[in-house]
Amino acid sequence: MAAPAPEHRHELETIDLYINVGPQHPATHGVFRMVLTVNGELVEDCDPVIGYMHRGNEKLPENCDYRQAIGYHDRTDYLAQFNTEWTFCLAVEKLMGLEVPERAEYIRVILGELNRVASHMMWVGAFGTDVGFFGTPFMYAFREREVIQDLFEAVTGERMMYNYFRPGGVAWDLPDDFEEHCRYVIEHVRRGIDDLDALMTDNEVFLARCRGLSPVTPEQAINWGLSGPMLRACGVRHDLRRAEPYSIYDRFDFEIPVGTQGDVYDRYLVRMEEMRQSLRIVEQALRQMPRNGPIMAAGLKRVLRPPPGEVYARTESPRGEYGVYIVSRGGDKPWRHKVRGASFCNLSPLREMVVGNYVADAIIILGSIDIVLCEVDR
């Protein structure tokens, strides 16, 4: 090894700065932590740290009755509770070969799609704050979320942990004025989406920040196991509602929005468009829904005892593919219970997307992934 050239000794020594973004930081959407190595304003390395929110959400249901386990799915992805409950119920139904009544299927579709809108609203609001809005998109989005949550509250009695879907149907019937209420929600939210569109989509500063930021190619996206809006923003037209229509999704007419660049702006556009498409599905479902009828499969025992076997059910949650894997040995509890979380998988290429960008962009890229830490850490 040659000795360093003498003139080097006269240069100022520079060292990289480690910046700890999280677990207590306004932009980490929970208790995520990333250790950024920055050189001035450029990110040279990013070390994501997860696990602060680990509560054993996969293990706990193994000690629960099949119906008790639903509550734990509310608590994994706490922004898409209906979708997660739905996935678990689908898995149990598959295991037991249950036939879900028509009306219950429609109820599930309506609530699941509205939940998708509510989740995307949450994302738009938080993302707006990440990009640097002084809370304006946040307030706009939360106004709409509030309207949707009022509907959920009227149906389930809860604002957060609904626990409303059950294997074989739903827990109880809808309130009498549900249809009216739901149409009001759709109108309100549609206007709200237009408001957000007017505020953000063509906002010059927003464009300058988001366009062309961290583009992901379709090949990369597939290799990294991205799903949901993250995948579709890259131009891959893959949506489980269309690719393998679970429940009754083959009866509805809706578009699957895809992006072209896979950049942050495309992720935003895809989610905005998905909200509109979800409202379309809800409208169709409202028209087609049978006015009355059973909401629970007949002849279910008080304690569910699925036959031995294993099953994997997956649905398109707002963040992507949410899957539940259950192994049953015939008892009243799942022998093994595993969750495939969408935002955990979407978060995994964070380092590849962040390195080489500015610190400010790292925040935006993290925001654009739409992580829910309870689901990442489970």
Partner 1 sequence: MIGDNPWLDGLLRLLVIAVAIPVAVIVLNYLERKVIGRVQNRLGPMRVGPYGTLQAVADTIKLLTKEDVRPHSADRWTFELAPYVVVVPSVVALVTLPLTEDLFVRNLALGLFFILAVSTLSIVGLVMAGWGSDNKYAILGAMRSAAQLISYEIPLVMAAVAVAMVAHTPDGRGTLDLVQIVDGQGRVPYIVWQSLAFFIFTVAALAELYRQPFDIPVAESEVVGGPFVEYSGMRWAMFMMAEYVNLVLLSVLASLVFLGGWNWPLGNQVGPALQVPLIVLKTALFILFFFWARAILPRLRIDQLMAYSWQVLLPLAFYQIIANGLVLVYDWPDVVLGLLSGAGTVAAAYLTYRMVRRPAPLRARVPAAAAAREVSV
Binding mask 102-131 toward partner 1 (x if CB under 8 A, else -) reads: --------------------------xxxx
Cα–Cα distance measured from residue 1 to residue 300, given in angstroms and rounded to the nearest whole number = 77
Token readout for 165 is: 């879907």
Smallest gap from Cβ 165 to partner 1, in A, equals 25
* 88 or 133: CB nearest partner 1: 133
Binding mask 189-228 toward partner 1 (x if CB under 8 A, else -) reads: -----x--x-x-x-xxxxxxx-xx----------------
* 93 or 266: CB nearest partner 1: 266
* 132 or 157: CB nearest partner 1: 132
| One of 110, 124, 155, 270 touching partner 1 (CB under 8 A) | 270
* 74 or 316: CB nearest partner 1: 316
Q: Of 316, 320, 313, 325, give the one whose Cα is nearest residue 372.
A: 320
Burial call 290-310: b when 16+ CB within 10 Å, e when fewer: eeeeebbbeeeeeebebeeee
Q: Which stretch binds partner 1 (CB under 8 A): 236-244, 253-261, 310-318, 337-345?
A: 253-261
Q: Which stretch binds partner 1 (CB under 8 A): 55-63, 67-75, 270-278, 299-307?
A: 270-278
Smallest gap from Cβ 258 to partner 1, in A, equals 7
* 149 or 277: CB nearest partner 1: 277
Other CB atoms within 10 Å distance of the CB of residue 7: 7
- R_g of the chain, CA atoms, integer Å: 22
Token readout for 316 is: 């398109």
DSSP 263-288: SHHHHHHHHHHHHHHHHHHHHHHHHH
Binding mask 143-162 toward partner 1 (x if CB under 8 A, else -) reads: x-------------------
Smallest gap from Cβ 1 to partner 1, in A, equals 33
Contacts of 337 (CB under 8 A, 6+ apart): 58, 59, 61, 62, 69, 324, 325, 326, 327
Burial call 128-149: b when 16+ CB within 10 Å, e when fewer: bbbbebeeebbebbbebbebbb
Q: Which stretch binds partner 1 (CB under 8 A): 45-53, 63-71, 336-344, 355-363?
A: 355-363
Smallest gap from Cβ 335 to partner 1, in A, equals 43
| One of 56, 132, 157, 330 touching partner 1 (CB under 8 A) | 132
User: Interface with partner 1 includes 134 (CB under 8 A)?
Assistant: yes
Cα–Cα distance measured from residue 148 to residue 346, given in angstroms and rounded to the nearest whole number = 26
Instruction: Report whether 378 contacts 235 (CB < 8 A).
Output: no
Instruction: Report whether 134 contacts 276 (CB < 8 A).
Output: no
User: Interface with partner 1 includes 288 (CB under 8 A)?
Assistant: no
Contacts of 349 (CB under 8 A, 6+ apart): 216, 220, 224, 226
What does the binding site for partner 1 look like in residue numbers (CB under 8 A)? 17-20, 25-27, 38, 40-41, 128-136, 139-140, 143, 194, 197, 199, 201, 203-209, 211-212, 253, 255, 257-261, 266, 269-270, 272-273, 276-277, 280, 283-284, 287, 358-361, 363
